[in-house]
């Protein structure tokens, strides 16, 4: 052990987006010695890109709103696949989390009465999203960041965790390297909170940043945790499609929330044919599939998208409510959105599935491990509503931080380490330096993105999924031989090699979960099983992945049954 720099904490939180920061704040507030470890600089996590807002039934704008309606919207939006208890806690607690953020200094846009303003979003019955123009995520992360650093949390930036450390069946720490020097580091901890975000970089067209390499999903799975609902991958309906350099960059749903219209190349508001009641503000799965279909059937724009038009609104209003969209299109595509439509198409955005947790505490199925945010599963089921992620981060970040701090308190002493595990991991991580192969991790990354986009994308078939699954063993072998150049100092090629190990593992999980579910539901569409099994068998089970003896296991677990009084809420107006 002496050869590694070692830090000792009660709780370490991996990932410094909204969920990780909120977890660390809570853990530290409860008296646990807490560290926050992140791959980037603090404040650059993916939360910073969240635009539209945070869903919370504050009822500041639409007085009729309440947690029950938010709960119902979330259950229906998730196509009955979500964990009812998580959805209940989320709907009940998100208003308090929003107000708390305000008390910590977040400056939300205001109503004329001087309260937090709220805007409309897809699938939400009422105007519900607390927001700051279209940069809500930045406001959230900066507020949490400043709250956190003044509360005594130790932050370790630009540190990649490569494996969780286990002893006697319990997670006891984490092993990683400093990105700057390439040197290894050990974090001993009584409890570990996973808050690493998503998996988007395994797809070719995605709104996700380089950090989204499925780390938390993969580390937890390898450590013995279970992953649920991994077939549910959200394609956001509106990403930029042109010019090529910007393909996939997110165009906020707030454009539609503020009145933006979707039209095909014939000028038709095509949502009339898919969801005439909610039109542009239908749920993301529906809108993405509608756009896909329009393009497929020859009614797309020159660059393979459809039009999103807000130019009928007053120019000053657009610049005030959607400032970063205005600049994004002006700067990157020469398009003035106050006078011209935007060309948009679906982009991989979010993974609903993730680490299976106890709703109240965020505890995973392995002792000592907790999870929150995008890398956890259950909250969003088959499809996430816009705005429900930022609130999810705060509600379950707080709960996981509390859960981890309590676990650390009740499971006092630091336990031992398996030195052999550390040695083995170190060898695995360093192996690429010895390779003389011609291919690099970058080559394989592009290959994986094509494989996933073409076979495990927005529309799936059993044959395509089997094609992908058949490729993975050879792919893994190839990755073991991939070559990196240079030294260990801030070497992105080397970093990508291990990120690829994680991505490949989770890519296989996604493909297997998608092959298993023989129906179409929410974000999971099977062309060979186009019907939703409403009220049937598939509505009663969640997919569940495990990892044993170096192999992915895929099965089904019964979905927790919603209590009658909550079911009555959902059924009342469904």
Partner 1 sequence: MSRMQTGQKVTFRILRGEGDSLKEVDYHVEAETGWVVLDAVLNIQATQAPDLSVRWNCKAAKCGSCSAEVNGKPRLMCKTRLDDIDTSQPVVVHPIKSFPHVKDLVADVKWNYEVNKRITPFTPAKDADFTYYQEDVDRVQEFRKCIECFLCQNVCHILRNHEAHSRFAGPRFFVRVAGLEMHPMDTADRTQFLDQEAGVFLCNITKCCTHVCPEDIHITDNAIIPLKERVIDRKYDPLQWLVRKVTGKK
Count Cα atoms within 13 angstroms, Cβ side, for 552: 24
Could you confirm whether 256 is annotated as catalytic?
A: yes
Q: Which is nearer to partner 1, 50 or 471 (CB)?
A: 50
φ and ψ at 247, to 5 degrees? -50, 125
The answer to whether the peptide bond before residue 243 is cis (omega within 30 degrees of 0) is: yes
Q: Which is nearer to partner 1, 274 or 490 (CB)?
A: 490
Rg (CA), the chain: 23
- CA–centroid distance for 264 within its chain: 29
> Minimum distance from CB of 220 to partner 1 (Å)?
23
> Minimum distance from CB of 157 to partner 1 (Å)?
8
Count Cα atoms within 13 angstroms, Cβ side, for 566: 22
164 DSSP 8-state letter: E
Q: Which is nearer to partner 1, 264 or 347 (CB)?
A: 347
d(CA 206, CA 214): 14
Contacts of 272 (CB under 8 A, 6+ apart): 279
> Minimum distance from CB of 354 to partner 1 (Å)?
21
Q: Which is nearer to partner 1, 97 or 460 (CB)?
A: 97
Catalytic residue among 97, 256, 512, 524: 256
Q: Transcribe 65-77 into DSSP letters.
A: --HHHHHHHHHHH
Q: Which is nearer to partner 1, 105 or 553 (CB)?
A: 105
> Minimum distance from CB of 262 to partner 1 (Å)?
21
272 DSSP 8-state letter: G
Contacting positions for partner 1 (CB under 8 A)? 40-46, 48-49, 99, 102-105, 107, 109-110, 112-115, 132-133, 135, 137-139, 142, 146-147, 149-150, 155, 157, 180, 209-211, 242-246, 249-250, 324, 327-328, 331-334, 440-442, 445-446, 484-487, 489-494
φ and ψ at 292, to 5 degrees? -55, -45
The tokens describing 572, both together, are: 């009342």
Q: Which is nearer to partner 1, 208 or 425 (CB)?
A: 208
Nearest to 200 by CA among 191, 211, 192, 190: 211
Q: Which is nearer to partner 1, 46 or 559 (CB)?
A: 46
> Minimum distance from CB of 148 to partner 1 (Å)?
10
φ and ψ at 170, to 5 degrees? -120, 145
> Minimum distance from CB of 487 to partner 1 (Å)?
7
> Minimum distance from CB of 440 to partner 1 (Å)?
5
The tokens describing 12, both together, are: 């370490």
Q: Transcribe 33-82 into DSSP letters.
A: -EEEE-SS-TT-SGGGG--S-EE----SSSTT--HHHHHHHHHHHTTT-S
Nearest to 188 by CA among 215, 170, 213: 170
d(CA 352, CA 364): 16
> Minimum distance from CB of 489 to partner 1 (Å)?
5
Nearest to 67 by CA among 562, 563, 569: 569
- CA–centroid distance for 96 within its chain: 22
> Minimum distance from CB of 146 to partner 1 (Å)?
6
Q: Which is nearer to partner 1, 50 or 552 (CB)?
A: 50
Q: Which is nearer to partner 1, 325 or 405 (CB)?
A: 325
Helix, strand, coil % over all residues of the chain, rounded to 5: 40, 20, 40
Q: Determine the 3-state secondary structure of 461 from DSSP.
A: coil
Whether 34 contacts 215, CB under 8 Å? no
How far does the chain reach from its first CA to its final CA, in angstroms? 58
d(CA 496, CA 104): 36
d(CA 368, CA 334): 51
> Minimum distance from CB of 6 to partner 1 (Å)?
21
Contacts of 44 (CB under 8 A, 6+ apart): none
Could you confirm whether 299 is annotated as catalytic?
A: no
d(CA 218, CA 199): 10
Q: Which is nearer to partner 1, 148 or 378 (CB)?
A: 148
Q: Which is nearer to partner 1, 245 or 298 (CB)?
A: 245
The tokens describing 268, both together, are: 């038709």
The tokens describing 129, both together, are: 């999203």
Catalytic residue among 128, 131, 236, 349: 236
> Minimum distance from CB of 216 to partner 1 (Å)?
17
Q: Which neighbouring-strand residues pair with 119?
A: 129
Q: Which neighbouring-strand residues pair with 307?
A: 263, 343
Q: Cite the active site residues.
A: 236, 256
């Amino acid at each position: 052990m002496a050869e590694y720099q070692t830090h000792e904490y009660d709780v370490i939180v991996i990932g410094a987006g909204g969920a990780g920061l909120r977890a660390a704040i809570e853990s530290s507030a409860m008296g646990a010695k807490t560290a926050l470890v992140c791959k980037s600089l603090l404040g650059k996590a993916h939360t910073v890109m969240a635009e539209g807002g945070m869903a919370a039934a504050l009822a500041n704008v639409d007085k009729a709103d309440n947690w029950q309606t938010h709960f119902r919207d979330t259950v229906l939006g998730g196509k009955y696949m979500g964990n009812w208890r998580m959805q209940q806690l989320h709907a009940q607690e998100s208003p308090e989390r929003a107000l708390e953020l305000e008390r910590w200094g977040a400056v939300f846009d205001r109503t004329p009465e001087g309260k937090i303003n709220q805007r409309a979003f897809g699938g939400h019955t009422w105007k519900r999203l607390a927001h700051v123009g279209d940069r809500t995520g930045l406001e959230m992360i900066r507020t949490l960041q400043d709250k956190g650093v003044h509360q005594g949390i130790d932050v370790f930036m630009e540190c990649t965790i490569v494996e969780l450390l286990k002893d006697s069946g319990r997670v006891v720490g984490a092993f990683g390297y400093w990105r700057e020097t390439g040197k290894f580091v050990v974090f001993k901890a009584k409890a570990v909170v996973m808050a690493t975000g998503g998996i988007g970089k395994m797809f070719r067209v995605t709104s996700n940043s380089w950090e989204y390499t499925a780390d938390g999903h993969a580390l937890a799975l390898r450590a013995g945790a279970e992953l649920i609902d991994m077939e549910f991958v959200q394609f956001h309906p509106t990403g930029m499609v042109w010019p090529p350099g910007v393909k996939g960059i997110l165009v906020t749903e707030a454009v539609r929330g503020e009145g933006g219209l979707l039209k095909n190349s014939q000028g038709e508001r095509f949502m009339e044919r898919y969801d005439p009641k909610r039109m542009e503000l239908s749920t993301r799965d529906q809108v993405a599939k509608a756009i896909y279909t329009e393009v497929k059937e020859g009614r797309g724009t020159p660059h393979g998208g459809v039009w999103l038009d807000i130019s009928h609104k007053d120019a000053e209003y657009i610049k005030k409510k959607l400032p970063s969209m205005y600049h994004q299109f002006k700067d990157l595509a020469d398009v003035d959105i106050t006078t011209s439509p935007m060309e948009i198409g679906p982009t991989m955005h979010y993974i609903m599935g993730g680490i299976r947790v106890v709703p109240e505490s965020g505890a995973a199925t392995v002792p000592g491990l907790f999870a929150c945010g995008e890398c956890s599963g259950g909250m969003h089921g088959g499809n996430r509503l816009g705005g429900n992620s930022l609130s999810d981060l705060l509600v379950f970040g707080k709960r996981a931080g509390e859960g981890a701090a309590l676990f650390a308190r009740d499971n006092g002493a630091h336990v031992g380490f398996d030195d052999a595990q550390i040695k083995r991991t170190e060898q695995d991580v360093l192996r690429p330096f010895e390779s003389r192969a011609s291919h690099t991790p970058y080559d394989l990354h592009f290959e994986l993105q094509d494989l996933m986009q073409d076979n495990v994308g927005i529309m799936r078939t059993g044959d395509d999924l089997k094609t992908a699954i058949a490729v993975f063993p050879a792919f893994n072998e190839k990755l073991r031989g991939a070559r990196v150049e240079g030294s260990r100092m801030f070497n992105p090629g080397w970093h990508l090699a291990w990120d690829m190990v994680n991505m490949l593992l989770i890519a296989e999980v996604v493909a297997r979960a998608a092959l298993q579910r023989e129906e179409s539901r929410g974000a999971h569409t099977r062309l060979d099983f186009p019907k939703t099994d409403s009220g049937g068998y598939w509505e009663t089970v969640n997919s569940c992945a495990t990892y044993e003896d170096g192999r992915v296991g895929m099965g089904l677990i019964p979905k927790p049954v919603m209590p009658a009084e909550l079911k009555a809420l959902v059924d009342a107006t469904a």
